[in-house]
Every structure is written in structure tokens, then in C-alpha cells.
Amino acid sequence: MIKEINIFFLTFFYIGKIKYAPGTVASFFACIIFLLLINVFNFEVIFFITLVIFMFSFISINYSSEVFRSDDPQEIVIDEVAGQLLVLLPIPVYETLYNLPMIYYLVGSFLLFRLFDIWKPYPINYIDDNVSGSLGIMLDDIIAAIYSILILSLIFFYLGA
């Protein structure tokens, strides 16, 4: 029973079982979930939810690793969800600094995160190739999220959004 719950969580409600672009679909749904959460909860609660997802992902991946056939299985998309939520966390800060509708921040966050997650510039590619286990699965998406936050911040700063 616990393994089924872990698989359900790691595949993000079985989105990871989608044949084409499951990571992109999971990131898209993470954006929708963020929109729902930001209208109900404050920043601290959303940060805590992201942290819980991140920590539980490590445990679930370690516990369920033998179910999947590779070191970084395509079915596990909870890493994309955690990374996407991490990129979305600064949106309340952007909104206080720049007067744009939230959709601009949301679309920019989604596009940049997917770009860095797919492209995998250094050190993301190094981590993806050389770090195994739950750390390797999660860390490349976290660094892609950090890259996305930095680039998005620079774009808003220099464009004076």
C-alpha cells in the first residue's frame, strides 16, 4: 500500500505515466496548483508546502527506487513539481517590486524552468550524469530552478518591469 502511495506521489498523480513530455505537463500543473495556493495561503505556507514536497520526495525516491528501471526515470516528475514551485516562490516579491499581472511572472517562470531543465547547462548536466539516487534526481531540477530565478530576476531588473 505504501509503495502505491509513493508511486502516486512520485508520478504526481500519475502524470509521469503520460507518454509525451510528462515533466512539462507536471510543471504546468504545478503552476496551476501554485495559482490556487497563492489565492488561499500566504507565502510562508506555500514555502512550507514546497519544502514538505521536496523532503518527502527524497524519502519516496529512496524507498521506491527498485520499482523504476533506470537511475533517473522519466516517470518520476515530482522533482519537476518541486523545482517549478521553487521558481514560483519569488512571485510575491516580484509583485511588490514590479507592477505586472501575475501571469507574466508565471509564464516566465514556467518557460525558464523548462528551458534549463531540458537544456541542462553546466553544472546541471554534470549532476545529471554523475550523481545518482534521489539526490541526483532532485538536485538537477533544484539548480535549474535557481538558474531560472536568477535569470528571471535579471530580466525584471533590467527591463524595469
Give the mean model confidence (pLDDT) for residues 7-17: 96
- Within a domain: 86: yes
Specify the pLDDT at position 161.
55
Give the least confident one: 41-50, 67-76, 84-93, 123-132. Answer: 67-76
139 HSE (CA, 13 A, CB side): 15
- Within a domain: 15: no
- Within a domain: 26: yes
Give the pTM. 0.94
- Within a domain: 12: no
Percent of the chain topping pLDDT 70: 99
Q: What's the domain count of the chain? A: 1
- Within a domain: 14: no
- Within a domain: 31: yes
- The mean pLDDT of the chain is 92
- Within a domain: 82: yes
Q: Using one digit for the tens of pLDDT, what is the confidence trace for 116-146?
A: 999 999 999 999 999 988 999 999 999 999 9
Q: How confident is the model at residue 70 (pLDDT cuts 50, 70, 90)?
A: confident
Q: Using one digit for the tens of pLDDT, what is the confidence trace for 25-65?
A: 999 999 999 999 999 999 899 999 999 999 999 999 988 87
**3 to each of 9, 13, 39, 65, 71, how far by Cα in Å?**
10, 14, 33, 10, 18
- Within a domain: 13: no
Domain span at residue 80?
Answer: 2-7+20-159
Cell of 131: 550523481
